[in-house]
């Protein structure tokens, strides 16, 4: 092979290698940075502001319910992109048989900056059994972050939440954890 052909092949190889590396690094820079978040909401910081329950009438204990819970974060608040969470407004629906069944709804996270994060959630509740647990239930569900306002327009993510609650006594304490990212 003559020097000109070898030189042409070398130049082509360098160009191809450059293109491959360029694609790799551009893909890496476009990938969204994921952030872990984990926080607890003690019962003292959560209040049922409204709740309505209607007997379905088919069997005893079958009810449909709508409710609103307000959670505040004055002590040790979690942060999203460095901005602390101020409050959460949860609006939900449930279809229960003796507080066992499915629940679903929507959350609005309000940050100290005034920006909001919107979530959709669903899950299942089960009543505790055993002495001293009467009236308490546990909800386990998945929250999907669907968007937000301001700098959080492109926020997405998935959170898992466990809530110990009692609609009759007003108990509502949550543990939330998962990850989020902001799509550019």
Query: For 127-174, how does the pLDDT look when each residue is reduced to its tens digit (9 = 90+)?
Result: 988 766 778 999 999 999 999 999 999 999 999 999 999 988 999 999
Name which of 27-31, 99-103, 155-159 the model is least confident about.
Answer: 27-31
Looking at residue 6, its pLDDT comes to 59
Distance CA 100, CA 137 (A): 8
Distance CA 120, CA 92 (A): 10
Query: For 123-136, how does the pLDDT look when each residue is reduced to its tens digit (9 = 90+)?
Result: 999 998 876 677 89
Global pTM reads 0.81
Distance CA 161, CA 144 (A): 11
Distance CA 182, CA 37 (A): 14
| Cβ-contact 87, 73 below 8 angstroms | yes
């Amino acid at each position: 092979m003559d020097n000109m052909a070898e030189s042409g092949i070398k130049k082509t190889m360098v160009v191809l290698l450059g293109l491959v590396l360029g694609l790799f690094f551009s893909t890496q820079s476009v990938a969204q940075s994921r952030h872990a978040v984990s926080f607890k909401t003690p019962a003292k910081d959560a209040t049922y502001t409204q709740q309505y329950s209607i007997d379905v009438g088919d069997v005893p204990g079958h009810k449909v319910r709508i409710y609103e819970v307000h959670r505040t974060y004055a002590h040790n608040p979690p942060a999203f992109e460095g901005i602390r969470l101020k409050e959460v407004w949860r609006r939900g629906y449930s279809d229960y048989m003796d507080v066992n069944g499915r629940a679903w709804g929507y959350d609005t996270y309000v940050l100290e900056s005034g920006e909001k994060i919107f979530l959709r959630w669903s899950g299942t509740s089960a009543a505790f059994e055993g002495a001293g647990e009467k009236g308490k239930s546990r909800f386990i569900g998945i929250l999907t972050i669907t968007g937000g306002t301001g700098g959080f327009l492109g926020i997405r993510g998935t959170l898992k939440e466990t809530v110990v609650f009692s609609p009759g006594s007003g108990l509502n304490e949550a543990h939330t954890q998962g990850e989020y990212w902001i799509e550019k």
